Amino acid sequence: MEKENTTSQMPRIGEKAPAFTANSTQGKVNFPDDYKGKWVILFSHPSDFTPICTSEFMTFGKMQKEFEALNCQLLGLSIDGLASHIAWLRTIKEKIEYNGMKNIDIEFPLIEDIKMEVADKYGMVQPAASDTKAVRAVFFIDPEATIRTIIYYPLNLGRNFDEIKRILIGLQTIDKFNVALPADWHPGDSVVVPAPTSMDKAENRVDHTEKGVTSYDWFFSTKELPKEEIAKEIAL
């Protein structure tokens, strides 16, 4: 008899993030119930005691307060046991000095997932890369437990942490100000205003009669959104 295929479909942007309960280095995690009203960055790494993962955890640890200021909780995960997690994080704090970082205390939860239950729900194990290790997945999950952005990195490429923070700030800016963001946007750059929804509004865009709006064509218009204004709503 063939083995039943229990692999779950990877969740998609706009869908609710799969719920789970798991043990972690900070105690039991009940997601999403423990994080109501917060943004969550759930990320996986291939293995404890590996160099790229160590560099990433040190960077996440160094930036943890920055993410907390943005009302965001970090949640790490790998297919390793709790004892391995604890030993690795102790080693990072006590022995590793890298890129100007040392004595880094990892205070956010690192989930153990030996049975791959959470990794399976989130499509973190991709057999063509490895059937025993999670790839470097990053899920941005909003306070309503909706998945807003997904990034996947291969096993041998470390993440860009400036981009991870930029995405979080960008998503919060989109929600707070009802705008869209163009290529390479950073706080203080012009933002894209919603496209017109009627012929009259489209005509106003073409005629450049909307105050404060720069129109390149009826469907593509921008406006200024000063960094100071964003900072009133978001901890930049």
- Backbone torsions φ then ψ of 213, nearest 5 degrees: -110, 130
**Which helix (H) or strand (E) segment is 55 a member of?**
helix 51-69
| 72 labelled catalytic | no
* Strands lying side by side in the sheet with 39-44: 110-112, 72-78, 39-44, 136-141, 147-153
Task: Give yes or no for a contact between 105 and 59, defined as CB atoms under 8 angstroms apart.
Answer: no
The DSSP symbol for 196 reads P
Burial class (CB in 10 A: 0-12, 13-18, 19+), 27: exposed
Of 53, 119, 125, 234, the catalytic one is 53
Instruction: Give catalytic residues, as residue numbers.
Output: 53
